[in-house]
Amino acid sequence: MRIAIASTDWAKVSGHAGRARRWLVYTAGQDRRVTGPERVELPADMIFHNFEDDRPHPLDGIAALIAVSAGEGFMARMKRRGIDARLTAESDPERAAREYLDEALPPPKPRPIGALICKVFDLFSTHK
């Protein structure tokens, strides 16, 4: 299983998954051991907010996606793509991958202003 984690600095889990360029991709074997990460840096046209779903994507084949924040439209889009998208307060990417596997990923912190911004982005998004 492959798990992609948004990370603007390659060190911490970051937010606004729809606009994330940098992703850490971990692989979990049947023994649930996490290996990696593989670094994936998306070109501008492959950022999910810009991507049209009409061609292959560098993150195709991931089973799960983890970020600090994302809009409702993004979450629905990932579900349609068959990706289990989760939001978390966990800042350590490898720990987040392990906690996802253990079904113990801590929920995201409340972000009233951030959530409002995501809703505004969703209003103008072509990906609903």
Give residue-wise pLDDT tens across range 23-41. Answer: 999 999 999 899 999 999 9
- For residue 112, the model assigns a pLDDT of 56
100 has pLDDT over 80: yes
- For residue 72, the model assigns a pLDDT of 85
* CATH placement of domain 2-123: 3.30.420.130
Per-residue pLDDT band at 65 (split at 50, 70, 90): very high
CB-count exposure of residue 47 (10 Å: 0-12, 13-18, 19+):
middle
Q: What is the mean pLDDT of the chain?
A: 90
What is the rounded CA–CA span in Å between residue 45 and residue 1?
26
- For residue 50, the model assigns a pLDDT of 86
Amino acid in the structure at residue 115: A
Domain map of the chain by residue range?
A: 2-123
DSSP 45-69: GGSTTT--SSS--TTTT-SEEEES-
- The rounded Cα 21 to chain-centroid distance in angstroms is 10
What is the rounded CA–CA span in Å between residue 28 and residue 52?
29
Give the tokens for residue 46. Answer: 């492959």
pTM of the model: 0.86
- The rounded Cα 83 to chain-centroid distance in angstroms is 9
